[in-house]
Amino acid sequence: MSVKNAMTADFLRSAYGGESMAHMRYLIWGDVADKEGMPNIGRLFRAIAYAEYAHADNHFRELKDQKGDFTVPAGAVFGVGNTVENLQGGIDGELHEIEQMYPVYLETARFQKEKGAERAFHYALEAEKVHATLFQKAQDIARQGKDMDIGDVHVCDICGHTTTEGLPEQCPICGAKKTAYKAFKA
């Protein structure tokens, strides 16, 4: 499937840009957490970075027939601080996506009957809700100077659903089987 309408295409490109930058900054912030002696929070950052890659991948593929160069404006959080501060950056970025960006992009895709973009935006919106919660939990623990006590982190390849609660039988967002999950092992 490929997008037909200019407005939805603009939003896909912007979302692709935003997810690409989120992917990269979570890898950077994960390294900071490792160096601060919080390897589990580092691993959570890397798992969520992978989920953002899955979102970027979905958006990029919806644009597969829109070939050429584009200048892409996209929102992104900047700054490198300590892990508590970096997690606040994570929370702020996810909340922006949940409360502002994806609801608007999703409504636009629906209005323009862009089924593929609608699915890509829906997957991202739902996965970001989980990310915001996980970053908040991590920050509560990091504030006490401790690392998270978590086992494997699992990320759905299809929609970016992320969980620290063990491997699900089925993805609660996209319905994929458990074989679709990538494990970030403890």
- Summarize as ranges the residues that interact with Fe ion (CB under 5 A): 128, 131, 156, 158-159, 161, 171, 173-174, 176
- Please report how close the Cβ of residue 14 comes to Fe ion at its closest, in angstroms: 15
**C-beta closer to Fe ion: residue 153 or 171:** 171
DSSP secondary structure string, the chain?
-----HHHHHHHHHHHHHHHHHHHHHHHHHHHHHHTT-HHHHHHHHHHHHHHHHHHHHHHHHTTT--S--------------HHHHHHHHHHHHHHIIIIIHHHHHHHHHHTT-HHHHHHHHHHHHHHHHHHHHHHHHHHHHTTT-------EEEETTT--EESS---SB-TTT--BGGGEEEE--
**C-beta closer to Fe ion: residue 6 or 100:** 100
- Please report how close the Cβ of residue 51 comes to Fe ion at its closest, in angstroms: 6
**C-beta closer to Fe ion: residue 23 or 112:** 23
- Please report how close the Cβ of residue 97 comes to Fe ion at its closest, in angstroms: 7
- Please report how close the Cβ of residue 32 comes to Fe ion at its closest, in angstroms: 18
**C-beta closer to Fe ion: residue 46 or 112:** 46
- Please report how close the Cβ of residue 154 comes to Fe ion at its closest, in angstroms: 10
**C-beta closer to Fe ion: residue 115 or 182:** 182
